[in-house]
Amino acid sequence: MRCLQVCQALLQADYAVALYSDANDPAKAEEIYPGMGQVLSRCRHIPSNTKHRSIPGIAVIKDFKDIRKTESYFYELAPDVTFCTQSSPFHVPSRLYHFIYHGTDLFQYSASYLSSSFPRQKLPHGYITLKKGLNDFLRNILRVKLPSPDWYFALSPSILARLRSNGHRNSSLIFQPSTQFRPRQKKEQAIQVTRLIPEKRVEIFLEAARRLPEYRFILLARTKPGLEDYARDIAKRIPQNVVYQKTSLGQAPHLLEESKVYLYTGAENAMMLSVVAAISAGCYPIVSKNTGPEETIEALGIGTTFSSIDDLVPTIRKVMQEPTDPLEISEKAKPLSQEKFDQKIVDIAGNGVREELGSN
């Protein structure tokens, strides 16, 4: 999504945008991210060669071949500003690093290359470890230099900390934008918007509802293909006070806007935009401790965390019983609006990066 959001910001500012990616299907983009199909269709597509699956170690050799094959595109267009929108700079393929950062500066005018933001299939951890080890060994033998971009913009405080601990002082924080909602008159109900996968730990949400029968809980959850059995098991365990709808937030925004509490039970390290969306709707967020969502609420200055179901239940009850100001909560999400993000991207494109150490 962040790839398309950057494209959208640059297109609205009348930049010509070229997209260097392995995926370029406007119809699929529209299906996954409503409204973004047209954005993708307006970008000039330069196909990357990142789809191949190979024996560990061989990928490095293919990297060199791909670099030579694609290099002419980059020198022909000579982009004046270049963005890479991988989730983490620690997982960008070497060939992409070369094209994204070799011979380019963050200044002004016409073109931008971005990596794809479409979901990828997860590979076994053991395979990834083996492949990474062999690739790193070959890179050392072949003396492949590490990239040195002008600036890293981290999407979360933990990624920023990792960047700086690895010596990348040319880095600062920029939050991915979130859809903004308007608060409605609040009801004493808690909501979670998620996918039904084990990592989301929906069981905790259901147990909290079971222990708090006096309150209404709403679960908006989509089933992930291949996990239908897991979804059916969850459906069998839903208490009487839980409203379960197999739908997206876009199809029922009023349920979020009228809820007083947003409970997020997932344990991911990534920033969760659904938490930001809930804050914009005036919901008080309660999230798992030591997670990406905890970083998010700390950065926005609203919400609390839980470590176990035993401390979650009294926390929900306390928030339900105490008065909250939905409009004041909603204001906390304004820095993560699409408008703020667009301004930041266009400013970078037009003026380059400026020394920001000490400001983040």
What would the pLDDT profile of 164-197 be if each residue is shown by its tens digit? 787 777 777 777 777 888 899 999 999 999 888 8
* C-alpha span between 326 and 330 (Å, rounded): 6
Going by their DSSP bridges, the two strands 216-223 and 187-196 should be labelled as parallel
Assess contact for 209 and 236: CB atoms under 8 A: no
Residue (of 197, 194, 192, 264) closest to 229 by Cα position: 197
Distances (CA, A) of 43 to 26, 124, 152, 182, 267: 10, 34, 23, 32, 35
Helix (H) / strand (E) element for 171: namely strand 171-173
Helix, strand or coil for residue 274? helix
Return mean pLDDT, the chain: 76
* C-alpha span between 59 and 111 (Å, rounded): 28
Q: What percent of the chain has pLDDT over 90?
A: 26
Assess contact for 175 and 332: CB atoms under 8 A: no
What's the pLDDT at 18?
Answer: 81
Contacts of 243 (CB under 8 A, 6+ apart): 216, 217, 218, 219, 255
What would the pLDDT profile of 100-109 be if each residue is shown by its tens digit? 333 333 222 2
* C-alpha span between 87 and 41 (Å, rounded): 22
Contacts of 334 (CB under 8 A, 6+ apart): 180, 280, 340
Q: Which domains does the chain possess?
A: 2-177+338-351 (no CATH), 187-335 (3.40.50.2000)
Confidence of residue 359 (pLDDT cuts 50, 70, 90): very low
Confidence of residue 215 (pLDDT cuts 50, 70, 90): very high
N-to-C CA span, the chain = 24
Q: What percent of the chain has pLDDT over 70?
A: 70
